[in-house]
Amino acid sequence: MSEQLDPNKYHILTAGLRQKLLLISLPIVLVVFPLLIYGYYTFAVNRPNQIGKDVTVEIKEGDGVLEVSGKLSSLGAINSEFLFNVYVFLNNKDKNIQAGKYNILSGTNLVSLVEMLEHGKDDIKLTFLEGWRIEEIAGYAAVNLDNIDYEDFVSLAANLEGKLFPDTYWVNTQINESELIDLLRKTFDEKTKKILTPKALENAQLTENEAFVLASIIEREVSKKEDRPRVAGILVKRLKSGELVGADATTQYAVAKGKVGCVNVPDSVVCPSYNLSLEMDWWPKILEKDDLDFDSPYNTRKNPGLPPAPISSFGLNALESALNHEKSQYNYYLTDKDGVTHYSVTYEEHLQKVNTYLD
């Protein structure tokens, strides 16, 4: 009669042990495997193409997704024909591809390529950054769009500082100044209407214009989102107490034109010129004593209250920070060279931190 083997001694997998292992491993497989697939998929669709040169592809009317992916693959414009098809169908973009001749840049990833094919050969993707002033928006648009004249754009948008929403847009290459301004302004109204409610303004004890101006200052003064409500609270505290708001960004805005000889130029006159604008540092980091004393309603280092209008475009986070400003014990702040914001209660503490972090 053969001897019965001890499962514990010889590590034999009994039915019960196998069941336990299955119960333990199954959830791991069900969680980990999809995460690995998703991680690879996300990496792959955002991976630049490897062709190493620009190529041109022609998509004809009636071309299906498989035909399009075949053309792109033969040119090396995509890394995987299969992945292109999967991405297009998963995102319901198979009916959106437009006919036309496309120039595909080396390094274009699959997501950007499909986005380009969706919008058609006559559209261009432009990104207007948060914190830009009118002149910067106009300069960028004029460089990238044939029908945009820098001076005409600045003149038409002169009263819309801060109200041209910073975002990424697909626009027709033939768009003109008024059409582009209208697009950016309508986007601003649409994006801000849910945040800028009468109740929100009442709670913040701010007018609409004050909220816009504060948001534009915060956009320029503080880069880290977690610091913005507190800095906004300090600025509001100064405003309500009648102190100088003292935000360097407002001084930068006021003196920038003076740096290129545009002092005492009427607001109705476009200054500086287009070519000079492209080379201009619109936000000079080093402010001299004369700059701090610069006579302008925008210079809060010299004049009490807020500027009469925003100083730059701003995103929703900056506006939310203005409306939900934080009450704190602090009266002063500074942002060091690494983007870290330091707070002080007294002016003496503030001066010590200036010497520590800025000198």
Has residue 147 been placed in a domain? no
pLDDT of 351 strictly over 90: yes
Same domain? 214 vs 329:
yes
Average pLDDT, the chain: 88
Residues 269 and 328 in one domain: yes
Is there a single domain that holds both residue 245 and residue 327?
A: yes
**179 within domain boundaries:** no
Clarify whether residues 314 and 269 are in a common domain: yes
Please indicate, yes or no, whether residues 22 and 66 belong to a single structural domain of this protein: no
**Quick one: three-class SS letters along the chain?**
CCCCCCHHHHCCCCHHHHHHHHHHHHHHHHHHHHHHHHHHHHHHHCCECCCCCCEEEEECCCCCHHHHHHHHHHHCCCCCHHHHHHHHHHCCCCCCCCCEEEEECCCCEHHHHHHHHHHCCCEEEEECCCCCCHHHHHHHHHHHCCCCCHHHHHHHCCCCCCCCCCCEEEEECCCCHHHHHHHHHHHHHHHHCCCCCHHHHHHHCCCHHHHHHHHHHHHHHCCCHHHHHHHHHHHHHHHHHCCCCCCHHHHHHHHCHHHHCCCCCCCCCCCCCHHHHHHCCCCCCCCCHHHHCCCCCCCCCCCCCCCCCCCCCCCHHHHHHHHCCCCCCCCEEEECCCCCEEEECCHHHHHHHHHHHCC
Number of domain units in the chain:
3
Residue at a domain's end among 121, 152, 172: 121
Residue 28 pLDDT level (bands cut at 50, 70, 90): confident
Instruction: Identify the domain boundary among 69, 95, 121.
Output: 121
Is the pLDDT assigned to residue 112 strictly greater than 60? yes
- Residue 142: the pLDDT is 94
One domain for residues 263 and 303: yes
Please check the confidence at residue 102 and state whether its pLDDT lies above 60: yes
pLDDT of residue 304: 94
Q: Give yes or no: residues 33 and 99 share one domain.
A: no
Q: Is 152 part of any domain?
A: no
- Residue 260 is predicted with a pLDDT of 56
92-99 own/partner pairs: CB under 8 Å, 24+ apart = 93/118, 94/64, 94/65, 97/59, 97/63, 97/65, 97/68, 98/59, 99/59, 99/60, 99/61, 99/63
Whether residues 259 and 347 share a domain: the answer is yes
Residue 148 included in any domain: no
Task: Work out the pLDDT band at 266, boundaries 50, 70, 90.
Answer: low
Give the range of the structural domain holding residue 228, as residue numbers without chain letter: 199-357
Claim to verify: residue 81 and residue 214 sit in the same structural domain: no
So what's the pLDDT on residue 192?
97
For residue 17, pLDDT over 80 is answered with no
pLDDT digits (tens, 9 = 90+) for 133-169: 999 999 999 999 999 999 899 989 989 999 999 999 9
Tell whether 227 and 110 lie within a shared domain: no
Whether residue 270 sits in one domain with residue 232? yes
Q: Which residue has the tokens 């109200």?
A: 163
pLDDT at 31: 75
Q: Average pLDDT for residues 245-250, to the nearest whole number?
A: 96
Across the range 46-53, mean pLDDT stands at 90
284, 276 contact by CB (below 8 A): no
Cβ(227)–Cβ(320) under 8 Å? no
In a domain, residue 181? The reply is: no
Report percent pLDDT > 90 for the chain: 63
Residue 254 lies in a domain: yes
pLDDT at 255 > cutoff 70: yes
> Tell me, what's the pLDDT at 3?
56
In a domain, 190, yes or no: no
Determine the pLDDT at residue 65: 93
Q: Would you say residue 59 lies in a domain?
A: yes
- pLDDT surpasses 60 at 2: no
Q: Look at 205 and 2; give whichever has higher pLDDT.
A: 205
Same domain, 255 and 322: yes
- Among 121, 143, 160, the domain-final residue is 121
| Highest mean pLDDT out of 42-46, 113-117, 144-148, 319-323 | 319-323
